[in-house]
Chains A and B, each alone.
Chain A
Amino acid sequence: DGGITQSPKYLFRKEGQNVTLSCEQNLNHDAMYWYRQDPGQGLRLIYYSQIVNDFQKGDIAEGYSVSREKKESFPLTVTSAQKNPTAFYLCASSIPTGTGKVGYTFGSGTRLTVV
């Protein structure tokens, strides 16, 4: 079955460390996204990519980095510059926006905690 896989499900990081969250999809979607969710809040966009080897900053990109070397993969690195990284991170992919439709699929999320 097609879908999005995020790993790990839970991640603990010491202050000052960089960590990378994995996101892989086999839906053949061109666009991929990373969102962050804090308790009692909606999702906020960190980075997005519409095509391989291209990505753009979202609303809260500071302290994060991404790469899109393959269509299937869009890893997110949370760097030590991110001052408050504890949150629930969600990866999503969507069908090409040129179709006039927005069909999103979300991964099951990674819960990152700084210890």
Chain B
Amino acid sequence: RKEVEQDPGPFNVPEGATVAFNCTYSNSASQSFFWYRQDCRKEPKLLMSVYSSGNEDGRFTAQLNRASQYISLLIRDSKLSDSATYLCVVTISGNTGKLIFGQGTTLQVKP
């Protein structure tokens, strides 16, 4: 079983739609959680950290459920510019800062 699992998609949605991605992690010692965005043939860039209380940044909302070991990302009012691959990322407690990546979920927003 992969340490971090995501549905690869692609998710094809119209502009203005609300879309949600889920991610599950297997290691209960997972400590920090992030969503990264990766555009085609580019490096990943941090979209947002994910906190236990849930957090929001504009149209993006991230949730963490430690009991069920899953993380979610909600994008409201999708824009064409949101088209990208979204990577779920965790760190493990005491694991020297290494990031563990899911394979990514691809989002295509269509006009």
Give A residues with C-beta under 8 Å from B: 31, 33, 35, 40-45, 48, 50, 56, 58, 88, 90, 92, 94, 97, 102, 104, 106-109, 111
CA distance A108 to B44 in the complex (A): 9
Give B residues with C-beta under 8 Å from A: 4, 8, 32, 34, 41-46, 87, 91, 96-99, 101-104
Contact B91 A31 (CB under 8 A): no
Given contacts A40-B8, A42-B87, contact A104 B99 (CB under 8 A): yes
Q: What is the predominant secondary structure among interface residues of chain B facing chain A?
A: loop
Given contacts A40-B8, A42-B103, A102-B32, contact A58 B43 (CB under 8 A): no
The chain B residue with its CB closest to the CB of A90 is B43
Q: What is the predominant secondary structure among interface residues of chain A facing chain B?
A: strand
Other-chain residue from B4, B98, B102, B104 in contact with A58 (beta carbon distance below 8 A)? B98
A90: chain B residues within 8 A (beta carbon): 43-44
CA distance A94 to B99 in the complex (A): 10
Other-chain residue from B42, B44, B96 in contact with A31 (beta carbon distance below 8 A)? B96
CA distance A109 to B38 in the complex (A): 12
B34: chain A residues within 8 A (beta carbon): 102
Contact A43 B97 (CB under 8 A): no
A43: chain B residues within 8 A (beta carbon): 44, 87, 99, 101
A106: chain B residues within 8 A (beta carbon): 43-45
A109: chain B residues within 8 A (beta carbon): 41-43
